[in-house]
Amino acid sequence: MNFSELVKFRQSVRAYKHDKIEPEKILKCIEAARLAPSACNSQPWRFIIIDKHELKNKIAQTTANRFIPLNHFTNQAPVHIVIVNEGSNFTASLGNKIKNKKYSLYDIGIAAEHFCLQAADEGLGTCILGWFDEKKLKKLLKIPNNKRPELIITLGYPNEKLRKKKRKKIEKIISYNEY
């Protein structure tokens, strides 16, 4: 696939086959994330790979609950990746304060998408999850109190067809030379 095809091909996968994922493919996705840009090259991320079946199912449970129809597919994915915010470096932290931003969140979002695009190129499906029980997740993975898991990515071989993308029309999202 060339880049434009890859971008169209990547979608949030919410049905997975049980097939195991080759460890080198997971590392290739991590490598793509590692090469992502970040404010002041802060690289404020740590990727926890959860490939132990029982632990992974416990992580999946933190993403769903009985009362909300969200994330009930996650236990199908054989691997979960948790991205922990390690905090910005000195210069990016200074930038955060001066510009009232949280650059590490942008950085982690970009790294997550690098991961997902590489996964798609490997024939793997992903879904980025921002909805999970942070307290339970931290406890399960022994994440220190002062660090936040920002995103979970489910990973596995897709068991669904390519969907048509639902997106705002281009005229609605661009303007030239003024707002």
Ligand X SMILES: Cc1cc2nc3c(=O)[nH]c(=O)nc-3n(C[C@H](O)[C@H](O)[C@H](O)COP(=O)(O)O)c2cc1C
Binding site for ligand X (CB under 6 A): 11-12, 14, 70-71, 127-131, 165
* Beta carbon nearer to ligand X, 161 or 165: 165
Task: Specify the DSSP element, H or E, that contains 33.
Answer: helix 23-34
User: d(Cα 150, Cα 112) in Å, to the nearest integer?
Assistant: 10
Q: Rank residues 74 and 89 by Cβ distance to ligand X and give the closer one.
A: 74
CB 112 within 8 Å of CB 47: no
Of 145 and 168, which CB lies nearer to ligand X in the complex structure?
A: 168
Kindly tell me which of 11 and 88 has the beta carbon lying closer to ligand X: 11
Burial of 34 (C-beta count, 10 Å sphere; 0-12/13-18/19+):
middle
CA-closest candidate to residue 129, choices 59, 52, 45: 59
Q: How far is the CB of 177 from ligand X (least distance, A)?
A: 29
Q: Which residue is nearest to ligand X (CB)?
A: 130
Count the neighbouring beta carbons within 10 Å of the beta carbon of residue 52. Answer: 11
Q: How far is the CB of 7 from ligand X (least distance, A)?
A: 10
Provide, rounded to whole angstroms, the least separation between the CB of residue 74 and ligand X: 8
CB of 109 to ligand X, least distance (A): 6
Residue that has been written with the tokens 């930038």 in this structure? 95
